[in-house]
Amino acid sequence: MALAPNPPICLTDLRTEFGDANGGNVCLTEYYAGGANVAAGTSGTNGAVPSSGTVCLTDFLGTSNVIPVVSNTQNYTGNVAASFADNLSYTGSQGMIIVDYQYVMRTSISGSNYVATLYVEETSNGNGVYNSAGMSTGTLYPVQTVTFTQGNWPDGYALDHSVTYSSSSGGAYQENTSLLAGTGETYSSGSNWDNTTFTLLNPTTNTAFKVRQQVTGECWTGVAEFIDTISLKFNKSGYPNLTAATFNVQTEMTFGFSGPCF
C-alpha cells in the first residue's frame, strides 16, 4: 500500500512500507533509492527518492514498495496451469515427439481500468488439459489476470522461464526446449523471449509466445516430462518490479519402442 501523498509521515511508515533489511534503529539513510530497502528508481509525489546525499521524509510521500494493482487473480485450479501429453509407438529405431503450445498476453479494458491477462493455448499438437477438462486448439485459457488503474499501468512485462526435465532414464533419448516466436495474434514475441522486457501496450492487443518441447529417442521406451516454470513480471518507472505470479505447465511424452533395434 502506497504511503500517503501528503504529510504527516514518519520513519515507522518507511519501515512498514519498505522493510528494514539491516534491523536495529531506523535511520533515514537506510532508505536511499537503490539501497538495502528501497528499489532504484522509486518515486512519489515529490519526484524520485534520492540515491545519495540529502534525503528528507517528504521525499517518500506517495511512494510505494509495489506497483499498485486493483486485483491480481489466478484463473486456474490445481498444481499446474495446464498440461499437455502425447505418446508414440514406434519401430525402426528412431522416434520423435514435438509438443508446441503458446502463452498469449492480452491487454483489455474493464470499466476505467486496464487489464493484463496471460493465457495458455493449445496449438497443433499435444493434447491439452486445463482445469481437468480437455482444451480446444486455438482457444485461450486464462492463467493470471492483473488489473491496474490506467495511471498505474506498467511500462513493461516479461515472462521469466525455466524448465525441469525428468525422465524414466535408461535409454538413448535427448530432450530439447525451444522458446519460439508465437503466431496467430496481433504481435509475436520473436524467438528466445525468456526474460525479455516487452512494452505493455495499451488495450486491446495480443502477443503470442511459443514453447516447443521435443524428445528424440532411439530404441527407447519410457516417459519424459517437462515442467515449464514461468514468472509473470511487470516493471514501471518509480517502482520495484512486480512478480505477479509464478506457475507451472506440464508436458508429458510416452515412448513405446518395439521391433528390432538396428
Partner 1 sequence: MDINAPTSKNTMEKINNKKITIAFGPGEWIENRTDGIIQSIDVIIKGWINNDVPLVERNMHGGGKINHIEWGQSGSVEESFNWSVPEELQTSATWHAHVHPHDEDNDSEYKLYSLQWIDLIKNTNEYITAYNTVKANLEAL
CB atoms < 10 A from the CB of 81, how many? 26
Based on CB atoms, which residue is closest to partner 1, 115 or 233?
233
Of 138 and 184, the one with the shorter C-beta distance to partner 1 is 184
Residues that bind partner 1 (CB under 8 A): 92-94, 155-156, 158, 160-174, 181-190, 194-199, 201, 207-208, 216, 218-219, 221-223, 229-231, 233, 235, 241, 243, 246, 254, 256-262
Cα(163)–Cα(78) distance, integer angstroms: 19
CA–CA distance, 39 with 65 (Å, rounded to integer): 8
Find out whether the peptide bond into 203 is cis, omega within 30 degrees of 0.
no
Residue with cell 513480471: 233
User: At its nearest, how many Å lie between partner 1 and the CB of residue 122?
Assistant: 18
CB of 39 to partner 1, least distance (A): 11
Residue 90's contacts (CB-CB under 8 Å, 6 or more residues apart) are 217, 255, 256, 257, 258
Q: What residue has cell string 535427448?
A: 174
Which of 47/92 has CB closer to partner 1?
A: 92
Q: Which is nearer to partner 1, 8 or 260 (CB)?
A: 260
The closest of 19, 27, 62, 70 to 44, measured between CA atoms, is 62
Reduce the DSSP state of residue 258 to 3 states and report it. Answer: coil
Q: For partner 1, which is the closer residue by CB, 112 or 169?
A: 169
Minimum CB–partner distance for residue 26 and partner 1 (Å): 26
Least distance from partner 1 to the Cβ atom of residue 245, Å:
12
The nearest distance, CB 12 to partner 1, in angstroms, is 29
